[in-house]
Structure formats: C-alpha cells, structure tokens
Amino acid sequence: MKKMLLFFILIAMLVLQACSTKNIQNEHVEKEIENADSELIILKASDATNLDPHFVTDMPSTNVVHGKVYETLVAFDKDRKIVPLLAKSWEQTDELTWTFILNEGIHFHDGTDFNAKAVKTTLDRLLDPALGSPQWEKVSMIKEVLAEDDYTVVIKLKEPYAPLLAILASHEGSMISAKAVTKGSDQLATHPVGTGPFIFDSWEKGKEIKLKTNAAYWGNLPKYGGVTFKIVPDDMTRLKMVEKGEAHIAEQVAVANIDYINNSPTLNLFRAESLAVEFIGFNVEDALLKDVQVRRAISHAINREAIIHEVYHDTGTLANSSISPKVIGYSTETKAYDYDVEEAKTLLRAAGIKEGTHIKFLVNDRTERIQIAKAIQAQLKEIGLEMDIQIIDSGDFVSEVLKGQHQLFIRAWGNATGDADYNQYNLFHSSAIGVAGNHFNYSNPEVDALIEKGRAISYQVTRNSIYKEVMQKELDDAVYVPLRNDEHLAAYHNMVQAFWLDSANFTMIRNIQIAK
C-alpha cells in the first residue's frame, strides 16, 4: 500500500511539474528594458493613412508597422535572403504544398497565443474576397491554409508560385491577432495588434504615432522605451531638428540637402540602393492619351538623364524598365524611348494633336517631385503641349489617382519582395487596375498571360526570359516612362548607433542604441 501511495504521489508530482512547465512556456513574461526611459524619435514627411496591413498601400503607413508592430512567418536579412522569424522552419513538399513549423511560446500584444490558428485566421481574412483587400491578388494563388496542429501550418496553392516566401516575408504577410480580426477592419486601421518588438500606443493624426517597446517580446528587446513618428512635412525643418538633437532620424531626405548633411558635425547620411523605380505614368484610358502615338511622343520628349542630373544630383541611376537591377527578373536589354524632340513632334502631328493642347500632370508635394514636374512642363512645351501641374498632399495622392481623372502622374513603386512578379502583377495586370497598383488603367490580354506564366514557373532562367519579353511590350505600348532606379536616403544624429535602411526603404530600428 505504501508503494502504491508513493507511486501515485510521484505521478501527481510529474503531472504538476508538466503543467507548471507548460504554464511557464505560455506565460506572457515581461523583461527589463534597457534605457526604458529613452525614446527614439523619427521624423516623417507624411502621415500614415491606414495601419491594417491588409489595406496598406503606401510607404508612410507600412514603415510604421512592418517589422515593428507586425511580424511575418519568414523575413529578409540584410542580404535579402529569406530567414526564419515566426516560423522556425519550412519545407516545400511538392510544387503546390508548403509546410511551416512555428515557434512556440509567442504571444500577440493582446495576450493571445501566436499559433497555427492565428496564421490561418490571418491568411483566410486576406484571401476572403468579401474583405476587399487591395493585397488580395498578391496571395490569390493560395488555395487553402490548414492548421494541422497547434504549431504546424500547411499552405496549399492552386498553381506553382515561385515568390511565395518573398510575399510571406513582406508586409502583406503580417500576422494579426485572431482576436483583433474579430473586431473588424475599422479597428485594425487605427489599432494594429501584432507580435512585434513594439506595441501600438496612440495616433494623433497629422501629428504623431507612438509605439512602446514590448517588454514581453519573444526575441531580443530594443534598448529603449519606445518610438515616436512625428509628422514634419518640411525637408529642412526635419534635418535641423535632428541636427539639434530634438529627434534622432529624418526619413525622406531631399537630395538637395545632401551637402548640408555631409557638412554638419552632428548629422550622418545613410544611403541604400533601392528596389524601387520612379516613373512617369499615363492614364491610357484618358481621351487624349488613348492614342499610343501621343504617349510615345511624350516619352520621346522627356529628357530623363537631365532630370536625374539636375533634380536628383545624380543620386540613383537611369531606369530602363519598371524594375530595378536589384530585383530578380531584371534585364539589361529592355529599352525605353530615347530623348528625341523632333520624333516627338512628328508623332504628335501624326496623331492630329494641335499645338497648345493642355495636359494635366498629377504630382505629390515632395520637393523633388515638384521639381521634376516643372522640368517636364518645360520639356513638353518644346513639342507644343501646355502642361498644368496639380500638386496633391502625399497622403491624398493615391485616392486622387483612383478617381480616374488623371492624365500624367509621377510615382515610385517600391518592390517589397525583390521579385519581378511584385512589380509586374500589381502594376500591369488588368485585375490590378485601381487600388492594387495599376493606375495606368492598362489592360492587355497578352501581357496578362505572360505575367501569369512568369509567376507560375519555378525555373528562374525561364522566368527571366518571360519578364524581359513582357517588360518590353509594356515599354513599346508606352504605358509609362521609366525614370530612375531609386536610392533611399535618411539622416540620423551622432547619438544613434546601428541604424540602417533596407533596400525596400524600411527603417531598421530594432537594434538601435541611443547614446546619452
């Protein structure tokens, strides 16, 4: 009897120990934050518009939450290689099946568990056409998401999709609390809930967004108490605030201020070769611009090299397509229209366009963009076109374009994945017309077919040849004028250490140290 009693006591102890171990693993444990009383201050030219990753379409919004509030199953390292993050491993078992093993013991900021159910809830939400997400097309190749057990997720595809991991590493792949999802899109637009090193605190629109360091973060804690993104539209004001130590980092440095930064004893300049390309776009459904000869004439009239030299002071390089040399699928052989004023005049005459015809150019309020607009205004005057410049606040630019009343516009498309599909599908596929990115209103069945073929093939050499062909078709159709392979610039104070920008223009702040 004594032996039996000892046996049951031992079993009870083991059960209690197992329960205790489980509780420790799942406990929302807070750690001590080094320099908890310090705050990182980042100055932005424009405010965010939406903090829900399934609805974000602009960089000022994405850069607040991606990698800070929200995390992804996998991530890009400094060399743009895919590495584990919320998923500790993955395997592609066949062309249509991917299995992810998740890290355990991770919690969302609302205290709920990060697990397979949360991954399924997040991706199912994004895949639901009823949600109306502009990011839907980027994951539309996913057939279903299965939670095989608490920490195993299987993603089944409708067709092979080479850039799947790259999409999952981008902000579209942000993992959202399942509890927060139930509160709806309006709530998530202003109160993001992720697993990241920072917790959303407050948003005073037009002024600032505050995040606080997540003391219960599952990874390495930032060494400061929080971060505030302050909205300061004027370029020089942002620089002077950082120079005086009133802030730490200024995003979106104007190239005209590079010398000022280099000559300052307290300022530093970070430069990063970009995945983005800046371009002049045409609304091909506009009455004047429906004629490809008119678009080709304008393309020939724009002196791209002069703009890069005079406006950008030779930062960045001349673009020859919609994707930069750092993007998988780039080709050196695609060719844009040469600068040729006489050919431009000939094409306009052939199209029956009268001298003095007015055309509207839509531009956001960034300093360089306005300068570019003025330069193009002078260049188009040489071929007999009168260009009216319409300047729009950066936060309202996309919504203005979506009205469909624009003719010419300028913007950059930042490639979040580093793969050509991200540019091609979102900018040129007919299903992406509108908020998803195709602001040209361009529809070409042959182009659609090539884009779909490129994303479904795994062999990269074949994909490269497809993208070379489709990009040349878009250029021949004069859908846009490639202007510049972008270069990202940011200024930071001497007191800041370990700050960097990645090639997608995300401010990498997790490991920053702030000297006192």
What pLDDT shows up at residue 116? Answer: 98
In total, the chain counts a number of residues equal to 516
Helix, strand or coil for residue 178? helix
39 is written with which tokens? 């705050």
Compute the distance between CA of residue 20 and CA of residue 124 in angstroms, rounded to an integer: 34
What pLDDT shows up at residue 138? Answer: 86
What pLDDT shows up at residue 459? Answer: 87
Give the burial class of 372: count Cβ atoms within 10 A of its Cβ; 0-12 exposed, 13-18 middle, 19 or more buried: buried
Compute the distance between CA of residue 384 and CA of residue 390 in angstroms, rounded to an integer: 19
Give the N- to C-terminal CA distance of the chain in Å, as an integer. Answer: 68
What are the C-alpha distances in Å from 91 to residues 94, 127, 143, 153, 154?
9, 22, 17, 11, 10
Give the confidence band of 513 by pLDDT, cuts at 50, 70, 90. Answer: very high
Q: What is the mean pLDDT of residues 116-129?
A: 97
What pLDDT shows up at residue 49? Answer: 93
Q: What is the mean pLDDT of residues 466-494?
A: 97
Q: Dihedral through CA 175, CA 178, CA 179, CA 180, nearest 10?
A: 40
Classify residue 231 by its DSSP letter.
Answer: E
What pLDDT shows up at residue 18? Answer: 37
What pLDDT shows up at residue 30? Answer: 84
Q: Is 12's pLDDT higher than 70?
A: no
The architecture of the domain spanning 276-486 is Roll (3.10)
Determine which helix (DSSP H) or strand (DSSP E) holds 484, and give its type and residue range. Answer: strand 480-493
Phi-psi domain of 100 (left: phi exceeds 0; alpha: psi -120 through 50; beta: other): beta
CB within 8 A of 252, min separation 6: which ones?
A: 44, 45, 235, 238, 366, 489, 490
What pLDDT shows up at residue 162? Answer: 86
CB atoms within 10 A of CB 76: 23
Classify residue 126 by its DSSP letter.
Answer: H
Q: What is the mean pLDDT of residues 120-145?
A: 93
Beta bridge partners of 386: 358
What pLDDT shows up at residue 27? Answer: 55
Question: Tokens 């579209």, residue?
Answer: 172
39-203 and 276-486: same fold? no
Q: Is 481's pLDDT higher than 70?
A: yes
List alpha helices for 382-419, DSSP H: 397-401
Q: What is the pLDDT of residues 154-174, one digit of tens each?
A: 999 999 998 999 999 999 999
In 237-302, DSSP assigns E strands to 249-250, 267-282
In 67-113, DSSP assigns E strands to 74-76, 82-84, 87-94, 97-102
> Mean pLDDT in the chain?
92
State the CATH class of domain 39-203: alpha beta
Angle at 248 between CA 243 and CA 251, to 5 degrees: 90
Determine which helix (DSSP H) or strand (DSSP E) holds 310, and give its type and residue range. Answer: helix 304-310
229 is written with which tokens? 């993104």
Q: What is the pLDDT of residues 298-357, one digit of tens each?
A: 999 999 999 999 999 999 999 999 999 999 999 999 999 999 999 999 999 999 999 999
What pLDDT shows up at residue 429? Answer: 96
Helix, strand, coil content of the chain in percent (nearest 5): 35, 25, 40
Q: What is the mean pLDDT of residues 37-41?
A: 96
Q: What is the mean pLDDT of residues 1-12?
A: 42
Angle at 54 between CA 48 and CA 57, to 5 degrees: 45
Given a contact cutoff of 8 angstroms between Cβ atoms, the answer to whether 506 and 418 are in contact is no
Q: What is the pLDDT of residues 14-34, one digit of tens each?
A: 333 333 333 334 456 788 898
Q: What is the pLDDT of residues 383-422, one digit of tens each?
A: 999 999 999 987 788 888 888 889 999 999 988 889 999 9
Compute the distance between CA of residue 86 and CA of residue 78 in angstroms, rounded to an integer: 18
Compute the distance between CA of residue 104 and CA of residue 330 in angstroms, rounded to an integer: 38
Task: Calculate what percentage of the chain has a pLDDT beyond 90.
Answer: 81
What are the C-alpha distances in Å from 178 to residues 2, 127, 131?
50, 15, 15
Given a contact cutoff of 8 angstroms between Cβ atoms, the answer to whether 115 and 150 are in contact is yes
Helix, strand or coil for residue 493? strand
Question: Tokens 């390089």, residue?
Answer: 317
Given a contact cutoff of 8 angstroms between Cβ atoms, the answer to whether 119 and 153 are in contact is yes
Give DSSP secondary structure letters for 15-80: HHHHHHHHHHHHS----PPTTTT-EEEEEESS--S---TTT--SHHHHHHHBTTTB--SEEE-TTS
What pLDDT shows up at residue 28? Answer: 62
Q: What is the mean pLDDT of residues 208-215?
A: 98
361 is written with which tokens? 């150019």
Q: What is the pLDDT of residues 101-111, one digit of tens each?
A: 999 999 999 99
Classify residue 251 by its DSSP letter.
Answer: -
Q: Where are the domains of the chain?
A: 39-203, 276-486
CB within 8 A of 173, min separation 6: which ones?
A: 72, 73, 74, 167
Helix, strand or coil for residue 365? coil
